[in-house]
Amino acid sequence: MTTELRRLLIGCFTTAFLLALELPAIPGIAQVRSETWTAAGPQAGRVQALAIDPSNSQIVYAGTLGGGVLKSTNGGAVWTTLNTGYTERSSIDFRPNDIPVIAIDHSNTSIIYAGTDGGIIKSTNAGERWIAIGIHHIATVDTLVIDPSNTRTIYAGDHETAGLFKSVDGGLNWSPLHNGLLGVHPVAIAIDPTKTSTLFIAADKAGVFKSTNAGDSWTATNSGIKEPSQFGGVRCIAIDPTNTSTIYVADYAGGVFESVNGGESWAAVSTLTRVRILAIDPSNTQIIYAATPVGLFKSESDGRIKIVTNGRTRFLNKGRTWKEVSTPLDEADIRAIAIGPASATMFVGTDTGGVFKRSSDGASWSAVNDGVNATVVHGITVDPSNASRIYAATWSGMFKSENSGATWTGINSGLPAQSAYRIAIDPSNTNVLYAALSNGIFKSTNGGASWTSISRGLTTPAISALAIDRSNPNIIYAGDSGRGVFKSTNSGESWTAVNTGLTDTSVRSFAIDPSNSKTIYAGAYRGVFKSEDSGANWVEIGPEVTEVRALVIDPSNTNIIYGVSGGDRVFKSYDGGANWIGAFGGITDPNVNNLVMDPTDPKTLYAGTVNSGVFQTLDGGRTWGRVSYGVPMSCVTALAMSPSRNGTVYAGTFGGGILKRRF
């Protein structure tokens, strides 16, 4: 994980979650609820939870990193977002659109539970509306199971801080289950379907624990697992539904282990590593699937040594073999598996590619992402010569749209399989693009059709800002999140550090004076720096804020500068940075990520926040109003605006794709 992404995650995860309702109207800003934001792709992204309705395999639910809960009623052909009711909850460290786990009540499939980053939400009408229930203080509920014999009994776990909890009243009240689990944080929970008082938890480096009294007490049962703490930790567990004495666990670095005696002892059955999920096919329990960061693997009974003892057939699984499933999942980072009661129905969720569905004959897989808006977006740029052409830098690479976001095409030829963070367009030739990835800067001269690396002279690939001199597009500035400013005077062929006077080298943003390109402002972690000689020398000009994430200059009066901060909202200078004032009246979220100015009206600006969506000002920052109706509770990570009058504003989110709205 890069430093830049880690900072973004921290900002998105640790700021107070604020009410998502529109704020009351303020003078000059109409809060029109009929004007809503709509999804604008790119579709796919991280899908980290899947659940198939046990009574109707055409109904599938998906949990995303930032786009909330999705539902398909036609076997994955089309998905819709189900986020109504999330705003009924307001608490510290709560990001309700991060859904690591979904569980369906088998006795009443209209009842669904979802774990979130900060608690549990419940729906009693098949996802149409949600309410927050129970455990409000948990950091992240990422494992959740329902007792099949009494579906009002639920177990939930948080592997980071809080531990294991149990509810016996459908989630209304919860009790901690700490007896024998002191300091243990569950990663996965499994219930014996034939004797539901018997439970197992996978507890990462603490190994495996077992309870035979419905969670009242627990005992470690790791004989044969070779000290999980020495490996990567036990991350998953699966019980054979037809023979519940057979259980499988996977140590992330130590392989797959099997117990044939209810967890009393374990034997290694595979050296397959980095397994985060094990799933047994319910209609053929000899088939096991393993999800890894490098693909989906399948193991069958073929190749195992068959032994019959005491009238019972079992297999010595030292010979168990695994094979990767067919393309396109042979290189995918698998985050979720769901198999229907009839094994012909199977879905997997991936880290960047969305949802895939297995064909009815089991021979192939296809992406089913119509409506899956779960992409992590880091940057958006609109072509200044063509308002319909948009570029997006995402966790999944680079994308391009020629129709204002209606459809997108991946443009990654020549790019490594890395996250893309920033993109800049040459104003003199809009076919020339520059992209900052997690391992350097790349250039395209054909509108993104192909890319080449241009990182010569860069001492680090962690580029967090890019800016092109409009008066001389051969000059490019790159901001590094730890080593300051780099400059190229030859369109990126080579780079030189220009840090004289730059006492804070954690550079996050740039703004170049449109009337005098020798004047440059750099936003750093501890304030703003200014150069009046094309970056040769820098002077700190304040203000005392934390992490300047964006800077914007008023083209009609270049002494007017706006900045946004990860903690101090919006600030403004009227005199080229000599003095600064706060300009955030009405912005209720202290963490502002980005800022964009209407190119046709410099008094109109839009600010994207960590937890409260988008705000708008029509009076140069004196007053702001929230214009987020239709924006899910995702962290707004990028903003861009089309150059035309009454143009479209595009908002990139952390795991919810791009949204757009005309103003």
**Rounded Cα–Cα distance for residues 201 and 197 (Å):** 13
Q: Residue 29: is its pLDDT beyond 50?
A: no
The stretch 261-287 carries a mean pLDDT of 89
User: For 300-325, what is the mean pLDDT?
Assistant: 48
Domains in the chain with CATH codes: 46-176 (2.130.10.10), 220-353 (2.120.10.30)
In the structure encoding, which two tokens stand for residue 162, read together? 């809080």
Which of 136-150, 345-359, 365-379, 510-524 holds the top average pLDDT?
510-524
- Rounded Cα gap, residues 330 and 323, in angstroms: 10
Q: Is the pLDDT of residue 525 over 50?
A: yes
| Distance (Å, whole) CA 379 – CA 377 | 6
Q: Between 269 and 487, where is the model more confident?
A: 487
Q: Do the bridges between strand 561-565 and strand 569-573 make them parallel or antiparallel, or are there none, so unpaired?
A: antiparallel
Backbone angles phi, psi at 90, to 5 degrees: -140, 115
Tokens of 600: 């046709």
Element (H, E) at 551: strand 548-553
Nearest to 62 by CA among 75, 73, 49, 52: 49
Residue 479's pLDDT band, with cuts at 50, 70 and 90, is: very high
pLDDT of 204: 86
Q: Which of 430, 519, 504, 429 is nearest to 464 (CA)?
A: 504
Amino acid at 501: G
Q: Which residue has tokens 């989110």?
A: 653
Regarding predicted confidence, which is higher, 186 or 554? 554
Residue 90 pLDDT greater than 70, yes or no: no
CA distance 459 to 396: 25
Tokens 């750093």, residue located? 524
The percent of residues above 90 in pLDDT, for the chain, comes to 58
- pLDDT higher at 453 or 91: 453
CA distance linking residue 209 with residue 205, whole number of Å? 11
Model confidence, pTM: 0.85
Give residue 546's pLDDT: 83
Do the Cβ atoms of 512 and 469 come closer than 8 Å? yes
Tell me whether residue 183 is exposed, middle or buried, using C-beta atoms within 10 angstroms of its C-beta: 0 to 12, 13 to 18, 19 or more. Answer: exposed
Burial of residue 417, with CB atoms counted within 10 A of its CB: 0-12 exposed, 13-18 middle, 19 or more buried: exposed
Q: Say which amino acid occupies 81.
A: T
pLDDT category at 510 given cuts 50, 70, 90 is very high
Q: Is the pLDDT of residue 269 over 90?
A: no
Mean pLDDT (the chain, rounded) = 85
Rounded Cα gap, residues 160 and 146, in angstroms: 21
pLDDT at residue 405 in the model: 93
Q: Which residue has the tokens 């990182």?
A: 455
Q: Which two tokens stand for residue 266?
A: 């374990």
Q: State residue 137's pLDDT score.
A: 58
Neighbour order of strands in the sheet with 636-641: 38-39, 658-662, 648-653, 636-641
Q: Extract the tokens encoding 194.
A: 């034939």
Question: Is 414 a residue whose pLDDT tops 80?
Answer: yes
Q: Which of 11-15, 204-208, 454-458 has the lowest mean pLDDT?
A: 11-15
- Place 205 in a pLDDT band, splitting at 50, 70 and 90: confident
- What number of CA atoms fall less than 13 Å from residue 376's CA on the CB side? 21
Q: In this model, does residue 160 exceed pLDDT 80?
A: no
Mean pLDDT of 296-319: 48
Residues 6+ apart with CB under 8 A from 256: 248, 249, 250, 268, 269, 270, 272, 275, 278, 290, 320
Closest CA to 337 of 126, 120, 63, 73: 63
- Cβ(84)–Cβ(129) under 8 Å? yes
DSSP string, 195-259: STT-EEEE-BTT-EEEESSTTSS-EE--TTS--GGGTT-EEEEEE-TT-TT-EEEEETTTEEEEE
Given the DSSP bridges, would you call strands 80-81 and 188-191 parallel, antiparallel or unpaired?
unpaired
Give the mean pLDDT of 204-209.
90
- Positive or negative: CA dihedral 371, 375, 380, 386: negative
Q: Among all chains, which residue has been given the structure tokens 């390109």?
A: 517
Residue the block writes with tokens 């990520």:
593
Helices assigned H by DSSP within 495-619 = none
Whether the pLDDT of residue 10 is over 70: the answer is no
- 93: closest CA among 48, 133, 138? 138
Sheet strand arrangement including 539-542: 507-512, 520-524, 527-531, 539-542
Q: Is residue 145 pLDDT above 50, yes or no?
A: yes
382: left (phi over 0), alpha (psi -120 to 50) or beta: beta
For range 64-83, the mean pLDDT? 91
β-strand pairing of 44-45 with 373-374: parallel
CB 325 within 8 Å of CB 334: no
Q: What size, in residues, is the chain?
A: 663
C-alpha to C-alpha distances, 506 to 131, 280, 287, 538, 548, nearest whole angstrom: 41, 48, 51, 14, 10
